[in-house]
Structure 1
């Protein structure tokens, strides 16, 4: 089977691309992407070319751009180019130059794909890239998931040259007389991927001339094993992990049969980035007092009385959400709650938990609405003026670690806590026989 037929077969059967699909072709000007563009065009697909100029190689980057632009013009296909200040972006966000370029190009590709109404973004990675990725992932400890290498299709990104080796790509562009430009940075061992490509893979081929074919077969086995593992794990995760808005709740009673099996725990929590040593710590504290928190880079996992509570990390609302309330305020909102405040000479006592009634003569405006902070205390009504930490009050009321951070707290101008909204008021601010005016605050 000739190259074009192999390509068409791979695109249709492996990638599932339809003949009337529109494609964004990411073309750098190198031999891989220029061959990919040629194969799509001779196969009759509706395409347009997208080129990134990262301004990293002085005049060479501009020559790459000119080559791709001329190729697009010659074949009568639309051409788009985006210029990036890659070095500045990398410094601004603390990234390596390679990672900065990756973020920039994929973000632009997706934006352009949507703008132009394309179904797919085609990236010209080949079989050698596939094997290099697996070897690199071995050094990074990515586990079985990383040993799958480069997936042929992921979301809207396809890689239609994975069936070709680097040698086949080079041979094809020479035979077809396709213009291309070599990126000289690809020949420097400064980068880890280049070390694998230029130094390590040649040694493996010395040991076994069939190394590439063996690795390609191994990667298929890794992919099949990973799929089998996920077919076992996914139904368990779907049963255990109950999403409630932005919170995921896992019943401890249902987790009991898995808590002692660290490999299963690791797979269950893998989408949330928890390392094995953190999950081992969860095992060690399983029978201890509730309140322990476990961290991954992006998530927090709270060990509560009856549940595990999983939540994406975010800015602590106690540090950011604060609202001052002046004497003239009548209506306001805070923490998804609506409040109405009135001042009267006399009022009938209301004992509803969503209503606060206090002596205005004891208030110092502006009042403050905020969330719980470490060290907070108040003097609950009904306790004879004794102080109590809010954290202890929350424990007694069985209010979880996550929930207590979302309860509004009303604070007097002198720093005293007046009301745990919806729960308990402070004894020092209650109405007495000498009260002249009453502030009534209703949480709706």
Structure 2
């Protein structure tokens, strides 16, 4: 009963599950996951059992599947199995067998979770896995966060056995007489994790017999340190990063006191997936190269005059809409253009609303993205101007330019740089007899 009470307390302390949750149990047939199924049954959770047959060990893989199926039936849990051609997938995607199995496993778990109405996916990793992960991460460039080991919960993935050591798992399996099968690949040191478990940790234990307990304490210290750092970073980010619609504005002057601190800069931009190399370039260019864009896997950052503009990466959609005579409203996706009869008194003082001489319009009109080489005659002027030069004079940055649409007359001339400037050739004059008012919303 000690083990089940320990598990129950851990689930409550870490807020991993509620009694209302429907749980997907990932069960391989090994002692860890089979014990998890047993304990969850005794705790009364509503569960399904999911088993992956990676078909890597011939008959052994099929025997694992048969055991898990039989035990799920004994517990009264619905059983689901998925067979994968893991070697074929790994070869096709140029991944290791371990990475391919991981990718296939979690993709199927998520799919099954949704199909069966589960709320969480439980993985049977224990404290020893926690220690092994922290040690493995010392060989990778993960920073302090990598030394935290395994998180008990990340989104819908829950690891409830992180309160138990491997020794406690083994003892409880024997106590409860839980059936299981050993995967012989777990004893092969050709895999990095096995090498850590079978060779490296025993060497540390020769130096310090209480090494595992001390590592758990160290991981807790790392967690406390990282939590403190996150609070400081979040406070600075809230001061410097200002949200505006679907983008973030970062005042250069506010960022300047922190720009030389490479670690802090990395933590500030970590939620947006910028790596250290890109941020080093940002440090070098911050005060010198306006208009430069830095990209991560998910976001892009524009250096503007007095600020940085951060937004999710997204391809700009191609815009080309024909407008027939009599059209009243045009849908532009995230905005609309209204066309309505106007009065001759309006003098085009608003960017979002203009009056044009309706008799000069040749239908169909066209709305499209601006293009390099486009020219127009700005309202109030006589000579032509390139749109690119107009944008520079108006201090319209690269990101904003991508969203600029123009209204073309049927003869190909620009009528209006929408929401920016009317073409002087289409303004209302004393000779105008019919006015069309265009309103951008």
TM-score interval, smaller chain: 0.7 to 0.9
Matches within 5 A, 1:110-125: 110=110, 112-113=112-113, 118=118, 120-125=120-125
Residue 310 of structure 1: aligned partner: 310
Q: Does residue 27 of the first structure (1) align with residue 27 of the second (2)?
A: yes
In the alignment of these two chains, the number of paired residues is 438
Question: Are the aligned partners of 1:361 and 1:435 in contact in 2 as well (CA < 8 Å)?
Answer: no
Moved more, 304-313 or 170-179: 170-179
- How far apart are the structure 1 equivalents of 2:419 and 2:67? 68
Question: Are the aligned partners of 1:358 and 1:429 in contact in 2 as well (CA < 8 Å)?
Answer: yes
Residue 260 of structure 1: aligned partner: 260
* Residues 11/342 of structure 1: CA separation in 2 closer, same or farther (3 Å cut): closer
Question: Are the aligned partners of 1:26 and 1:123 in contact in 2 as well (CA < 8 Å)?
Answer: yes
Shift of 1:170: 4.0
Question: Are the aligned partners of 1:355 and 1:442 in contact in 2 as well (CA < 8 Å)?
Answer: yes
- How far apart are the structure 2 equivalents of 1:93 and 1:415? 48
- How far apart are the structure 2 equivalents of 1:26 and 1:272? 31
- How far apart are the structure 2 equivalents of 1:84 and 1:431? 70
Shift of 1:10: 3.2
**TM-score scaled by structure 1?**
0.82
Moved more, 304-313 or 393-402: 393-402
Residue 385 of structure 2: aligned partner: 387
Shift of 1:121: 2.7
Residue-by-residue CA offset, 1:18-51 (whole Å, 9 max, x unaligned): 5675533211112210121122223444433222
Q: Does residue 423 of the first structure (1) align with residue 420 of the second (2)?
A: yes
SS state of the match for residue 193, structure 1? helix
Of the candidates 297, 305, 318, which is equivalent to residue 321 of structure 1?
A: 318
Residue 335 of structure 2: aligned partner: 337
Shift of 1:70: 0.5
Residue-by-residue CA offset, 1:373-412 (whole Å, 9 max, x unaligned): 4554444344432333x33322322333322222212346
Q: CA RMSD in A?
A: 3.7
Residue 409 of structure 1: aligned partner: 406
Question: Are the aligned partners of 2:355 and 2:427 in contact in 1 as well (CA < 8 Å)?
Answer: no
> Can you give the 5+ residue segments of structure 1 that lack an aligned partner in the other structure?
none
Question: Are the aligned partners of 1:15 and 1:160 in contact in 2 as well (CA < 8 Å)?
Answer: no
Question: Are the aligned partners of 1:233 and 1:268 in contact in 2 as well (CA < 8 Å)?
Answer: yes
Residue 79 of structure 2: aligned partner: 79
Residue 354 of structure 2: aligned partner: 355
Shift of 1:4: 3.8
- How far apart are the structure 2 equivalents of 1:203 and 1:213? 15
Residue 193 of structure 1: aligned partner: 193
- How far apart are the structure 2 equivalents of 1:198 and 1:413? 76
* Residues 343/39 of structure 1: CA separation in 2 closer, same or farther (3 Å cut): closer
- How far apart are the structure 2 equivalents of 1:374 and 1:188? 61
Shift of 1:97: 4.9
- How far apart are the structure 1 equivalents of 2:333 and 2:19? 51
- How far apart are the structure 2 equivalents of 1:86 and 1:329? 60
Shift of 1:257: 3.1
Shift of 1:14: 4.7
- How far apart are the structure 2 equivalents of 1:131 and 1:367? 67
Question: Are the aligned partners of 1:335 and 1:406 in contact in 2 as well (CA < 8 Å)?
Answer: no
Question: Are the aligned partners of 1:370 and 1:410 in contact in 2 as well (CA < 8 Å)?
Answer: yes
Residue 149 of structure 1: aligned partner: 149
Moved more, 7-16 or 154-163: 7-16
Residue 127 of structure 1: aligned partner: 127
SS state of the match for residue 257, structure 1? helix
Residue 369 of structure 2: aligned partner: 371
Question: Are the aligned partners of 1:49 and 1:72 in contact in 2 as well (CA < 8 Å)?
Answer: yes
- How far apart are the structure 2 equivalents of 1:370 and 1:204? 67
Shift of 1:117: 5.5
* Residues 20/325 of structure 1: CA separation in 2 closer, same or farther (3 Å cut): closer
SS state of the match for residue 161, structure 1? helix
Question: Are the aligned partners of 1:323 and 1:334 in contact in 2 as well (CA < 8 Å)?
Answer: no
Shift of 1:134: 1.5
Question: Are the aligned partners of 2:27 and 2:34 in contact in 1 as well (CA < 8 Å)?
Answer: yes
Question: Are the aligned partners of 2:336 and 2:440 in contact in 1 as well (CA < 8 Å)?
Answer: yes
SS state of the match for residue 66, structure 1? helix
* Residues 201/244 of structure 1: CA separation in 2 closer, same or farther (3 Å cut): same
